[in-house]
């Protein structure tokens, strides 16, 4: 399957949402742009009770997730099917 191309878009977001995304960025290290991309794909970023290694673990998981787009699409499809 061909790798999908990404396009850059510009849009306005309420200040309160930007503040929330920046707070998440400060806690987890996940960039705001990546958070927006994940939200558009239906994911949410939450914090864990466990404090050790959480930000690094999230970034490592996301990077491995990005490296295998077919796996990501399959996983998303399975999650949607399980949720319906």
- Judged on CB neighbours under 10 Å (0-12, 13-18, 19+), 21 is buried
Q: How many residues does the chain have?
A: 84
pLDDT of residue 79: 67
The pTM for the full model equals 0.51
Query: 44, 34 in Cβ contact below 8 A?
Result: no
pLDDT of residue 15: 94
Give the model confidence (pLDDT) of 4-50 as tens digits. 888 888 889 899 999 999 998 888 888 998 888 888 888 877 666 55
pLDDT of residue 22: 92
């Amino acid at each position: 399957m061909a790798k999908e191309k990404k396009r850059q878009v510009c849009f306005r977001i309420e200040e309160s949402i930007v503040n929330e995304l920046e707070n998440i960025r400060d806690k987890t290290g996940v960039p705001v742009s990546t958070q927006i991309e994940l939200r558009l794909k239906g994911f949410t970023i939450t914090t864990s009770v466990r404090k050790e290694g959480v930000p690094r673990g999230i970034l490592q998981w996301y990077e491995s997730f990005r490296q295998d787009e077919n796996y990501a699409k399959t996983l998303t499809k399975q999650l949607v099917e399980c949720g319906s």
